[in-house]
Amino acid sequence: MPKPEILNTGFKIDEPKLWAVDLPVEEILISEIEYNSDIPYLEKEGTDDWNLTPLMLVKNPDAEPSHRERMDHVNLKFPIDIYRNDNFNKWIILDGVHRYSKALSLGRKTIMVRRVPEDVVKKITRE
């Protein structure tokens, strides 16, 4: 399966640069970004494809032991980073898919986020 069109932002994030940026943190309702549950951000084990959504991971974590382990060990005190994909008029996850999945699995109603603006994206991308 090719990369989902909603994730084709035209840039790749340099995570250490992203983590170093000081952005405001806010708590939002998960329902505001719930559509992210059905976006295949991850790869099923043994594949090299965009074929695993956060919701699939939450519903059947034992099928994906490495992703389950990552999800189990993330710390929800750290926010996820989201970016507004204006082509779809939606916020997508730039960093924190396993944290988002854990929040879903725990039945959380809210999640901490950092909204990454366009001017910051230009500073944290890599080739």
What value, to the nearest 5°, has the Cα angle with vertex 31 and ends 15 and 108?
75
C-beta separation of 9 from 96 below 8 A: no
Query: Could you state, in order of their start, the residue ranges of all structural domains in the chain?
Result: 24-126
| Sign of the dihedral defined by the CA atoms of residues 68, 72, 75, 77, in that order | positive
Q: What is the pTM of this model?
A: 0.93
State the average pLDDT over residues 96-125.
96
What percentage of the chain has pLDDT greater than the value 70? 99
| Confidence (pLDDT) at 102 | 98
State the average pLDDT over residues 121-125.
88
User: CA nearest 83: which of 70, 73, 97?
Assistant: 97
pLDDT tens-place string over residues 21-35: 999 999 999 999 999
| Confidence (pLDDT) at 127 | 61
- Tell me how far CA of residue 9 lies from CA of 54, 56, 121, in angstroms: 19, 23, 10
Is the pLDDT confidence value at 48 over 90? no
Is the pLDDT confidence value at 13 over 80? yes
